[in-house]
């Protein structure tokens, strides 16, 4: 075998050389690949057996193929099992896809129907409320027209009486005067007319609380609501306010054209009495606002102040146990500024808001939408709190100042 390896030829006495395909020859020695080296995991020739793989474990090709075939069959079986499993999973995924589509379509249909029902209920309530307002308006106008007609008839009678009386006074004949005087009836006073009332608050009272709750739910509580964010319109429709000196508590000193209010403890700074003024340390603004959007800004010297809006009917007297009366009734709304938080007041109920202290505050009143919002003004505009309501009267800005505090009404050109 050594000699054959050295000669590079395979000479076997009594046999002829067999033709071998190139892939069946050793690429290094050109000899037939007859054995398999398990260490190097390759087919080898007799020369490889002597030179490279002398100490390796070598087996016949048939034996190694038998082993590899067993492994390959096992691999095929596993692949078949895995294929079946994958097909089953894919089938389940297809079923899951159909289930998700069916469920989502059913859920979409349910949600659309629910919102359609709610929308119809809101629209029906809207038209019913509008119709009631129109009926109340028509009835009130009819009563006013009746009263006007009564007064007009009485005025015509008075005019006729005045003309006859003037003619009688101008009569030069005493006999004629005395004869016609009894024929002139004395004018009667008109009946006392009951003032016709049109109470908008009573008309919307049955629906007002529901609208307030629905507005808060839809505009604030629903996930993804954008109403709780500071709108881009803050700062538009700015109003330049002035304090009303006739309403200021006697310890509040007004200056800078009634744009600055300071609580001076121990000093009486009030103006001469010109009407009712607050007993609490409060002051109204001269301006009152109705339909439309209105915005104003204030600067506070420190915490312990209250800013808000109110109907003109806010009590002048101090309520027992309370330092202020802003937000203690149904016709006023207030934000109390504390050192580390804020308290939102309405109907005597308070809501605590955790937010840092702001010296500059903005107030946005969208009267028509029934939305009153308070903002902290800094590098960014931060919504502090919003009130939802159905406003029925003009609203006046109102303030309460603790001792030593100052409030400045910001003016824009």
What is the token pair recorded at 95? 């079923």
What residues contact residue 254 under an 8 Å CB cut-off, 6+ apart?
243, 245, 248, 260, 261, 269, 271, 283
Q: Is residue 340 domain-resident?
A: yes
Residue 19 is predicted with a pLDDT of 61
Q: Is residue 153 domain-resident?
A: no
Nearest by Cα to 214 from 132, 118, 131, 109: 118
Q: What pTM was computed for the model?
A: 0.68
Q: Is residue 83 domain-resident?
A: no
Range 189-210 average pLDDT: 78
Last residue of a domain, one of 39, 56, 73: 56
Residue 108 pLDDT > 50: yes
Range 211-224 average pLDDT: 80
Q: Is residue 399 domain-resident?
A: yes
In which domain, by residue range, is 331 found?
Answer: 231-409
Q: How far is CA 350 from the centre of its chain?
A: 20
Q: Which residue has the higher pLDDT, 280 or 231?
A: 280
Q: Give the other-Cβ count within 10 Å of 50's Cβ.
A: 13
User: Given pLDDT bands bounded at 50, 70 and 90, which one contains residue 66?
Assistant: confident
What is the token pair recorded at 306? 């209250």
**Averaged confidence pLDDT in the chain:** 86
> What CATH number is attached to the domain comprising 33?
3.30.160.60
Query: If DSSP codes are grouped into helix, strand and coil, which group holds residue 180?
Result: helix
Q: Let me know: does 248 contact 270? Beta carbons within 8 Å.
A: yes
Contacts 24+ apart (CB under 8 A), 47-51: 47/5, 50/1, 50/2, 50/5
> What CATH number is attached to the domain comprising 342?
2.60.120.920
Tens-digit pLDDT profile for residues 317-334: 988 888 999 999 999 999
Q: Which percentage of the chain shows pLDDT scores above 90?
A: 46
User: How do 381-388 and 371-377 pair as beta strands?
Assistant: antiparallel
Q: Which residue has the higher pLDDT, 159 or 273?
A: 159
Tens-digit pLDDT profile for residues 222-258: 766 655 455 555 557 899 999 999 999 999 999 999 9
Residue 231 is predicted with a pLDDT of 52
Domain count for the chain, please give it: 2
CA dihedral 54, 56, 60, 63 (to 10 degrees): 170
Residue 12 pLDDT > 80: no
């Amino acid at each position: 075998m050594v000699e054959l390896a050295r000669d590079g030829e395979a000479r076997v006495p009594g046999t002829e050389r067999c033709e071998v395909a190139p892939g069946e020859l050793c690429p290094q020695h050109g000899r037939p690949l007859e054995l398999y080296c398990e260490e190097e995991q390759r087919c080898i020739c007799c020369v490889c057996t002597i030179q490279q793989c002398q100490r390796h474990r070598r087996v016949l090709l048939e034996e190694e193929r038998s082993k590899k075939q067993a492994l390959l069959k096992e691999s095929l079986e596993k692949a078949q099992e895995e294929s079946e499993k994958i097909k089953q999973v894919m089938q389940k995924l297809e079923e899951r896809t159909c289930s998700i589509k069916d469920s989502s379509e059913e859920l979409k249909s349910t949600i659309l129907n629910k919102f359609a029902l709610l929308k119809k209920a809101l629209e029906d309530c809207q038209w019913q409320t509008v119709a009631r307002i129109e009926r109340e308006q028509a009835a009130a106008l009819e009563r006013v027209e009746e009263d006007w007609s009564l007064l007009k008839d009485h005025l015509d009678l008075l005019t006729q009486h005045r003309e006859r009386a003037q003619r009688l006074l101008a009569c030069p004949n005493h006999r004629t005067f005395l004869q016609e005087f009894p024929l002139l009836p004395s004018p009667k006073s008109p009946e006392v007319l009951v003032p016709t009332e049109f109470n908008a608050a009573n008309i919307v009272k049955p629906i007002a609380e529901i609208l307030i709750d629905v507005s808060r739910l839809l505009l604030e509580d629903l996930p993804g609501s954008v109403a709780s964010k500071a709108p881009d319109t803050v700062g538009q429709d700015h109003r330049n306010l002035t304090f009303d000196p006739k309403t200021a508590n006697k310890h509040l000193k007004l200056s800078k054209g009634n744009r600055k209010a300071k609580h001076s403890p121990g000093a009486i700074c009030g103006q001469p009495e010109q009407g009712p003024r607050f007993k609490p340390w409060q002051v109204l603004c001269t301006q009152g606002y109705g339909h439309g959007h209105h915005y104003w800004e204030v600067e506070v010297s420190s915490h312990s102040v209250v800013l808000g809006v109110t109907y003109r009917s806010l009590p002048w007297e101090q309520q027992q146990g309370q330092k202020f009366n802003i937000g203690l009734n149904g016709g006023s709304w207030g934000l109390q500024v504390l050192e580390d938080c804020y308290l939102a007041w309405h109907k005597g109920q308070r809501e605590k808001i955790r937010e840092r202290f702001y010296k500059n505050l903005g107030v946005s009143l969208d009267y028509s939408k029934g939305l009153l919002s308070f903002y902290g003004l800094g590098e960014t505009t931060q919504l502090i709190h919003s009130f939802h309501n159905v406003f029925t009267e003009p609203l006046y800005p109102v303030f309460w100042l603790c001792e030593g505090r100052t409030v400045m009404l910001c003016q824009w050109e």
